[in-house]
Structure 1
Amino acid sequence: MRQTKATLFLAGAIAALAFAFPAPLEATVTEQRPAQGQRDFTAEAREIERLAEQIVERTGIPGLMITIVQDDRVLVARGIGVVDATTGEKATPDTAYRIASLSKTFAGVLTGVLVRDGIFSWESRVSGFMPALRLPNEQGAELLTIRDILSHQVGVATRAFDRDIQADQPYPVLAARLGEAPATCLPGACYAYQNVAFSLIGDVVFAATGDFFHREVEKRLFHPLGMYSATYGRDALESTPSWARPHVRGARGWVPVRAQETYYRLPPSAGVNASARDMAQWLIANMGRRPEVLSTEVLESVHAPVVRTPDQLRSTTWRRDRLRDAHYAAGWRIYDYAGETLVFHGGAVQGSRAAMGFLPDRGIGVAIVWNSESPAPSGLLPTVIDRALGLPRHDWVQLDRLAADPALVAARGGRTQSRLNSGRGWPKKYPWQ
């Protein structure tokens, strides 16, 4: 149902009131307790919060935001460090960060909501909404379904046209060129991670609803969930009262840079900005604690594994040690993490990194986003998951080693920035995604 001007005004007024009377800067533990039979994770969450503080303090990275939730309780929602290394402005729980490919989870969930509402089905043919679409295989465009887009089974080579995105090519031009991309298989027959092809879902949503993709996310997800700092695009990020500048490594330390417009031109793939408070609400809703917005039917359809992704089993140390199997669902990765289901996604764009995951059977979730290209915070997520599962403690962060060798803190960022400067684009297998 389309919103009227009156309802849009009311939504705007509610959001304005939220900004006018914000919650306290430090997230507090509510008096509600965990579900019966589950242990309270508050003490572990506070310990990991302190570890996040130490990462920022001892490695010298600009900062990060961290959110840890249990069931419908926010245990931690913090902005740690600074939003800009040159000004020293402090991050808060309402500081907006660029969350990169974590944006894909919103595309998947919005699609599930539209399927529930009868707008289309998972098996709807994309050609019915985009008759001009061309894919390399002669039959490809006719076979492609909505589920294929959301599970990266479009049938074109991995990250098709990502270099062109980096070269500032507009999305409509690249989408029109998908027929020129190297073919890997027929749609639905194999997995290859995408950004341009994944963003076709935005065109489908527009054709099916008559409204822009980002507006559908705002009115069906952001507003009902109380994600008041969540926005789409660079202009919206820079208009937020507190927002984290991306940082790249320079000769004398971390240097703030303006967020590139490139991947922002692909809203379904990498367009979202959000705060620690916003990500807390997103995790809680995806764990089924906001059924009035995201029903069990929607969540089960979105989180259902679709295609195996064996490359994920060896992309980083914690994956090699902990993962037994890996799949892609609809905008989410589904891991078998030491015998437990972990619903996950990561993200990486210039100057920013992100990781998010939750254990649906334990009701514990975590999101970490940092405004630099350092790998230093990447061990926080497996640390949270290990603690939640009661696994033997493992030092995924290696803080002492990072603090003793500053070159390690910037190593990944320096190599990645070198690739970008040379025009080669992102590595084909980027561990955060």
Structure 2
Amino acid sequence: MESRHRGFRSLMRPTLLATLLTLTLGSAAQTPVQWQSPSAARTTAGTPAPPRTFVNTAQRAPVVDHGLAYAPPPAQVQPLGVGFDVRRFELMAQALVANQRIPGLAVAIVQNGQILSARGYGITDVRAAEPVDAHTVFRLASLSKSFAGTLTGMLVSEGALRWDSKVADFMPNLRFADPAAAQQLTVAEVLSHRVGLTHNAFDRDIEGYADYRDVVQRFANAPMKCRPGECYAYQNVAFSLIGDVVYASSGQFYNEAVASRIFKPLGMNDASVGLEGIQASARWARPHVRGRGGWASLAPKPTYYRVSPAAGVNASISDMAQWLLAQTGHRPDVLPQPLLATLHAPVVTTPGELRGSAWRRERLNGAGYGLGWRVYDYAGHRVVFHGGAVQGYRGAVALLPGRDLGIAILWNSESSLPSGLVPTILDSAIGLPYQAWLDLDLPEQIDRPETMYAGQTPASGIDGSTATAAPE
């Protein structure tokens, strides 16, 4: 295990040579400085070392380094693996919904600024079957966290707040069991799950239909794992403090800010936030759980919609294709590269991600969390990732910067079966030997790509009927 961590540090070291300071007011400019972990910033006597201060010459105000890691874009994008073929992945997606292995699925693949595929498969509801298409809306669950991090970064670039702004400046009534914690907690620490509370604190309260604001008041009596910034523990309720910060710093409610600053400029025309948003969609996929007779569709619960920054976004695969294009740097008018570099850089290590599914154990050499995104050393290649799951919905997004590739997969069931499609596509893009990550009996020509194109040349894309993300 230690050797795997060394590999991760080796991979990420070039990207952790500097941190990004707060953006200058009214500008997207960023200043790289040396990265230090909180523990490294302590003297040998055990007392805190004074933070290094840098001068923002534009505003003549001190800017303090708080350990945000800077990950520059790849110097040169490498070509996709020789056997990479989108049609094969589409056939795999179709096989996943055959015979209702899962009810419905949608997959988007973008590369080099182009949408290679954005299609739906299967049905929206086993009780009232309609085909899933490119504009069928799914609940994104924790994929929503990347929207929260991105929105916050946009406000930082506008000068509305700073990464090292104290959350208490926007929420003066915030209290923790440690009286000093609320005064110490920064915006960046919220977005990187370094609040100091225990893992998934108060999720059960949210699942029990508790009100978000009532739960936040319970922070005052909750046990703390560490001081803010000193440890990682994944959060939903505490992560959603960022919604209050957004409102206080921008004057817009969180849902409105996401819609006006992200959905509209990116052309995410099916996207929404909240239970009312998905229910108002022209076509949306119902959540499904296993029943005695197979899949059973349900009404979506309002619970985690009450923590919108953590789990409140709804979107179609057409929307997600636009999101992937923006997150891979092809919409600099909305999301400039320096901001993306900040969001996609690891701030804290998360070794627990190395366990779990087979592809994680086999492919991941290291893992960290940035600002609303996970960052992996995937077989020696940097992958920016997030997964999501909530009551009958699951999804995953992966970015492979070295190949300028983006993948989004959404499905309307609690099955983990489609998860293997992500490493299947990543392996093919990198050119790794084929490994059957999908626990599915696939036809031989799909399961073994070397047999699929005997005597043929693999295609690099697909025809125009799906490249535009139009409905089937």
Task: Decide which of 201, 205, 225 is 1:164's aligned counterpart.
Answer: 205
Between the aligned partners of 1:164 and 1:95, the Cα distance in structure 2 is 31
- Which residue of the partner structure matches residue 24 of structure 2? none
The one of the two structures with greater contact order (alpha-carbon pairs below 8 A, sep at least 6) is: 2
1:127 matched to 2:168? yes
Between the aligned partners of 1:60 and 1:190, the Cα distance in structure 2 is 40
SS of the equivalent of 1:400 reads coil
- What's the CA shift for 1:181? 1.8
Task: Decide which of 413, 417, 432 is 1:372's aligned counterpart.
Answer: 413
TM-superposition CA deviations, 1:93-149 (whole Å, max 9, x none)? 000000100000000111111111101010001111101001121210010000000
Task: Decide which of 276, 289, 292 is 1:248's aligned counterpart.
Answer: 289
For residues 118-267 of structure 1, the aligned pairs below 5 Å read 118-267=159-308
Amino acid across the alignment from 2:357 = T
Task: Decide which of 294, 297, 301 is 2:338's aligned counterpart.
Answer: 297
Q: Normalising by structure 1, what TM-score?
A: 0.83
SS of the equivalent of 2:328 reads helix
- Which residue of the partner structure matches residue 384 of structure 2? 343
**Which structure's residues are more often helix, by fraction?**
1
TM-superposition CA deviations, 1:64-92 (whole Å, max 9, x none)? 11111112111110111000011111111
SS of the equivalent of 2:261 reads helix
- What's the CA shift for 1:41? 8.2
- What's the CA shift for 1:323? 0.6
Q: For the Cα contact (< 8 Å) 2:192–2:348, is it kept in 1? A: yes
SS of the equivalent of 2:197 reads coil
TM-superposition CA deviations, 1:351-400 (whole Å, max 9, x none)? 11111101012111111111001111110111111111000100000212
Between the aligned partners of 2:199 and 2:435, the Cα distance in structure 1 is 33
Between the aligned partners of 2:128 and 2:82, the Cα distance in structure 1 is 36
SS of the equivalent of 1:288 reads coil
Q: Normalising by structure 2, what TM-score?
A: 0.76
1:73 matched to 2:117? no
Amino acid across the alignment from 2:319 = D
Between the aligned partners of 2:289 and 2:113, the Cα distance in structure 1 is 36
**Cα 1:287–1:41, aligned 2, differ >3 Å: closer, same or farther?**
farther
Q: For the Cα contact (< 8 Å) 2:77–2:401, is it kept in 1? A: no
SS of the equivalent of 1:177 reads helix
Between the aligned partners of 2:169 and 2:398, the Cα distance in structure 1 is 34
**Cα 1:42–1:234, aligned 2, differ >3 Å: closer, same or farther?**
farther
Between the aligned partners of 1:388 and 1:187, the Cα distance in structure 2 is 38
Task: Decide which of 428, 434, 452 is 1:393's aligned counterpart.
Answer: 434
SS of the equivalent of 1:199 reads helix
- Which residue of the partner structure matches residue 46 of structure 1? 87
**Cα 1:371–1:37, aligned 2, differ >3 Å: closer, same or farther?**
closer
Between the aligned partners of 1:37 and 1:305, the Cα distance in structure 2 is 22
Amino acid across the alignment from 2:334 = V
SS of the equivalent of 1:344 reads strand
Structure 1: any 5+ residue segments left out of the alignment?
1-34, 402-433
Between the aligned partners of 1:235 and 1:71, the Cα distance in structure 2 is 35
Q: For the Cα contact (< 8 Å) 1:42–1:75, is it kept in 2? A: no
Amino acid across the alignment from 1:90 = P
Between the aligned partners of 1:37 and 1:399, the Cα distance in structure 2 is 31
Q: For the Cα contact (< 8 Å) 1:377–1:397, is it kept in 2? A: yes
SS of the equivalent of 2:332 reads coil
Name the larger-Rg structure. Answer: 2
Between the aligned partners of 1:150 and 1:59, the Cα distance in structure 2 is 37
Q: For the Cα contact (< 8 Å) 2:81–2:431, is it kept in 1? A: no
**Cα 1:140–1:78, aligned 2, differ >3 Å: closer, same or farther?**
same
1:62 matched to 2:103? yes
Between the aligned partners of 1:124 and 1:42, the Cα distance in structure 2 is 47
- What's the CA shift for 1:59? 5.1
Q: Across the two proteins, how many residue pairs are aligned to each other?
A: 369
Amino acid across the alignment from 1:151 = S
Amino acid across the alignment from 2:434 = R
Between the aligned partners of 2:193 and 2:88, the Cα distance in structure 1 is 37
SS of the equivalent of 2:300 reads coil
Between the aligned partners of 2:79 and 2:154, the Cα distance in structure 1 is 30
Q: Please list every run of at least 4 consecutive aligned residues from structure 1 whose deviation after the TM superposition is greater than 3 angstroms.
A: 39-43
Between the aligned partners of 1:188 and 1:305, the Cα distance in structure 2 is 14
1:277 matched to 2:318? yes
TM-superposition CA deviations, 1:296-339 (whole Å, max 9, x none)? 12111111210000000112211110011100000000001001
- Which residue of the partner structure matches residue 423 of structure 1? none
Amino acid across the alignment from 2:271 = A
